[in-house]
């Protein structure tokens, strides 16, 4: 039996991923939490960009985290860990956390990890 796939432009699915409403947030933090010798506030900024992939019922998420603080405080020997936790609306307890660990000033050092549940930092 031959497959009955039809060829031609009228049968091809050509839509590109399209953006869905994203968001932008900024979270202040005390600089002393980053380094005990510092004072004032820094900011972690988060930009969420969502794209739907048509015909695959897939939602791609792209998150951009950035750290904003005075340049003289960036220490290239330190790492920053960004994390986000999400869960499907149908099961809010089925959480997944994604982390990105990156050495300050060296984007090629980024390591992304996925965890089941919440990711907890020692305080």
Q: Could you report the per-residue pLDDT of 28-84, keeping only the tens digit for each?
A: 888 888 778 888 888 888 887 766 666 556 666 777 888 888 888 888 888 888 888
Taking the mean position of all CA atoms in its chain, how far away is CA 68? 17
Is there a domain that residue 59 lies in?
Answer: yes
Beta strands 58-68 and 41-53, pairing class: antiparallel
Do 58 and 102 lie in a common domain?
no
- Number of folded domains in the chain? 2
List the domain range (segments joined by +) for residue 57: 16-74
pTM given for the model: 0.58
Given pLDDT bands bounded at 50, 70 and 90, which one contains residue 109?
Answer: very high
Q: Could you report the per-residue pLDDT of 5-36, keeping only the tens digit for each?
A: 565 666 555 555 555 566 788 888 888 887 78
Is there a domain that residue 1 lies in?
Answer: no
Is there a domain that residue 86 lies in?
Answer: yes
Do 91 and 114 lie in a common domain?
yes
Structure tokens, 19: 């953006």
Is there a domain that residue 4 lies in?
Answer: no
Is there a domain that residue 3 lies in?
Answer: no
Is there a domain that residue 10 lies in?
Answer: no
């Amino acid at each position: 039996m031959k497959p009955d796939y039809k060829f031609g432009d009228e049968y091809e699915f050509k839509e590109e991923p399209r953006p869905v409403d994203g968001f932008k947030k900024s979270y202040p933090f005390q600089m002393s939490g980053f380094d005990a010798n510092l004072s004032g506030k820094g900011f972690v900024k988060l930009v969420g960009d969502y794209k739907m992939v048509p015909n695959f019922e897939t939602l791609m998420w792209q998150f951009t985290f950035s750290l904003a603080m005075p340049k003289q405080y960036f220490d290239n020997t330190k790492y920053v860990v960004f994390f986000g936790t999400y869960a499907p609306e149908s099961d809010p307890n089925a959480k997944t956390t994604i982390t990105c660990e990156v050495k300050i000033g060296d984007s090629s050092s980024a390591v992304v990890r996925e965890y089941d549940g919440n990711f907890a930092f020692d305080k």
